[in-house]
Every structure is written in structure tokens, then in C-alpha cells.
Amino acid sequence: MSGAGTEPQKATPGSSPPRFRRIRDLDTHPEPWLRVSQVAEYLQVSSDQVWKWHRAGVLLIRNFGDRINRVSLAELRRFVTR
């Protein structure tokens, strides 16, 4: 069984997709784009609150397609240091 366990796990139909990494430190987080839910978890607020900030013009959320909304890591850094 050479190479066993070296393949990345693939999502199978009916299984939940892989979870995104939790944000522990903005300076070392490896992903350049974050889900709204990740931002909400990091800031310890609801996703609704993150959307309210977006509608108020204080947090930029980019739309990359149907139901694909992301906040850039740089934007989140700017938001928390303002």
C-alpha cells in the first residue's frame, strides 16, 4: 500500500465540503479571501452584522458569483485597525 493516505480527501456527493481554516492571526493567515462566516467568527459577531457593516460602507465584500461572497484579508486588516 504505497502512498496510502497521501491523496487529499475529496468531497463525495452528500458529504459536507471541507471547512475553511479559522482565522487565528491576520498576519499569518494563509488564505487571501475569507468567507463572511469566517469574518463573523473572527470578530465574534453574527454574519448579519458583517453584512450590516457592508451595507453601511465600512466593510467591502466582493461578489464572485452566485452566493460566493468574500472579504479580502487586506480589507479585514484595514477594518480592524481603523
Break the chain into its structural domains and give their ranges: 33-81
C-alpha cell of residue 49: 452584522
Residue 8: what pLDDT? 47
For the stretch 59-79, pLDDT in tens is 999 999 998 999 999 999 999
Instruction: Give CA separation, 40 vs 43, 45, 53, 68, in Å.
Output: 5, 5, 11, 16
pLDDT confidence of 30, banded at 50, 70, 90? confident
Question: How much is the mean pLDDT over the chain?
Answer: 83
Its pTM stands at: 0.71
Asked if 75 and 38 touch (Cβ cutoff 8 Å), the reply is no
**Burial zone of 38 (CB within 10 Å; 0-12 exposed, 13-18 middle, 19+ buried):** buried
